[in-house]
Structure 1
């Protein structure tokens, strides 16, 4: 890191609020999606079909090993009628 790289220094000292918020949103929507699957007696396969994605992708989402795009968050919210906090 360069001595005068103020952005990098600021990020190192304070973190990136946008990335932190996205991380929190990912965890929240994954938890809500998992609960919605359980409450609606859906399977991961059902969600994969509804969202037109590979079932393995659903597994990665629900275990927190993959982040959601805003498009996918919107689609999950619409399909499962859940809204991120």
Structure 2
């Protein structure tokens, strides 16, 4: 960081509200996905198999360590919609 980089200094001192909001939205979505899986009697591994994705990636999404993309949200939504409630 340069000495006169006022934006970086401000962000370091105050944080970035847009990033904080996005982080909270991702955590909320992860929580809702976990609840939906439980309601349908599915595991993270079931979701990974259905989506043909490494189970570790599912775990990263659902623990908030990886952000959801619009494409991912659509894929998860479509996959969960294919299951009937057990």
Larger-gyration structure (1/2):
2
Partner of 1:30: 30
Runs of 4+ in 1 over 4 A off after TM superposition: none
TM-score (norm 2): 0.71
Pair 18,77 (structure 1): closer, same or farther in 2 beyond 3 Å:
farther
Q: How many residues align?
A: 81
Aligned pairs for 1:4-19 within 5 A: 4-19=4-19
Q: What is the distance in 2 between the residues matched to 1:53 and 1:38? A: 19
Structure 1: gaps spanning 5 or more residues: none
- Runs of 5+ consecutive residues of structure 2 not aligned to the other structure: 82-86
